[in-house]
Structure 1
């Protein structure tokens, strides 16, 4: 994310951090989503060199600072492909590292699941729990901290209240005037990230 040094060679980060003006190493909303994509590509066996080349090409091709979140990528475990329109206006698959069109079967990662996009294709908000919209990360709400989508109360606050109240979900729901299910969703989410 912030670059590294190996055998005397300095390698820059894959992109400029969203909050890069700070002296501290901080991550913004789009950084978090880009890291999620890089992690998934690595899990599928794509090399860091290929990811770096694909990121550079995609940034130029799509004119986006955070290209992997623009909902057009797939992988076969060796390369990263983007769905683009060719010269005839037909949809085609482009190998980003090689800048060649591909015709082989590719695997579409389920990374786009839970991400809402603007009309321009920019990531807007992310629901990190599969098949649930109870918890959301939205840069326009509570500075992008995980919050309960229905109330805007951050999940960390609910979780700490749950611990302080002897793990009594009903009591916490009463204190915050929210449904017990919302308390359960916040506790479940926070427990997962604490593990």
Structure 2
């Protein structure tokens, strides 16, 4: 599980937006529901699962292009039913068939925020681009784990390991433990690698991830 603050750090999306999209918001004396029901709803207050974490990256891409929350909500519902996937934006089929989902929403609602996305194939490809899927490892269409660093797979978020918190892929050491040691040892990466008997490349990846999330 992840807090909105952790989700913000790992994805670069503002925590307030994460809360708004997943857990709803109040406006004009009315409560607006989140875009979908989080996987951990009812178990923990305002906690995201691994799949919620990945799905909001796609919501962020749609919002950056100007797609309305109402259109995203309807598209998510249509895609869940069409693809038989609880988290449809993340599934690879959305990369090829998602445009037809938005076309259906446009036909139903006339939402002009979808016009470019539906009518221009290149626009859809710009929004749903390979980088959104890069680093996600799949099995039978389901996301299993995510390697968030674009240039290597030394850091992984895997819900079957360390509760999905970032760890070093090879050694299993937590990123937090390595980064804490790096600061304690005067930011000497080689010394940390020797102390914990892990490859220097893994230590450097942990530091890169920490600096990326702190930015």
Pick one of 181, 188, 207 that aligns with 1:168. 188
User: Unaligned regions of 5+ residues in structure 2, if any?
Assistant: 1-21, 109-117
- What is the correspondence of 1:130-149 to structure 2 with a 5 Å cutoff? 130-149=150-169
| Secondary structure of 1:129's aligned partner | coil
> Is 1:97 aligned with 2:118?
no
| SS of residue paired to 1:98 | helix
Q: Deviations over 1:11-70 (max 9, x none)?
A: 111111122122421111001001111111111222212111101111111222211111
The structure carrying a bigger strand percent of its residues is 1
Paired residue for 1:191? 211
In the aligned structure 1, how far is the partner of 2:139 from the partner of 2:212?
Answer: 29
> Where do 4+ consecutive residues of structure 1 move more than 3 Å?
none
**Contact conserved, 1:58 with 1:96, CA < 8 A, in 2?**
no
Q: Is the 1:70–1:123 contact (alpha carbons within 8 Å) kept by the matching residues of 2?
A: yes
Cα distance in structure 1, aligned partners of 2:156 and 2:42: 26
Give the equivalent residue in structure 1 for 2:32.
11
- The match for 2:58 is 37
Distance 2:90 2:41 in 1: 19
When the two structures are aligned, how many residues end up with a matched partner?
Answer: 179
* Corresponding residue number in structure 1 for 2:129: 109
Q: What is the distance in 2 between the residues matched to 1:44 and 1:25?
A: 26
Distance across 2 between alignment mates of 1:96 and 1:178 = 51
Aligned partner of 1:53 in structure 2 is 74
Quote the residue 1:88 is aligned against.
Answer: none
Q: Is residue 159 of structure 2 the alignment partner of residue 151 of structure 1?
A: no
Q: Rate the CA distance shift 1:36–1:29 in 2: closer, same or farther, 3 A.
A: same
Q: TM-score, normalised by structure 1?
A: 0.84
**Contact 1:93/1:103, CA 8 A, preserved across alignment:** no
- Tell me the C-alpha RMSD between the 2 structures: 2.0
CA distance, structure 1, for counterparts of residue 53 and residue 173 of structure 2: 21
Per residue, is there more helix in 1 or in 2? 2
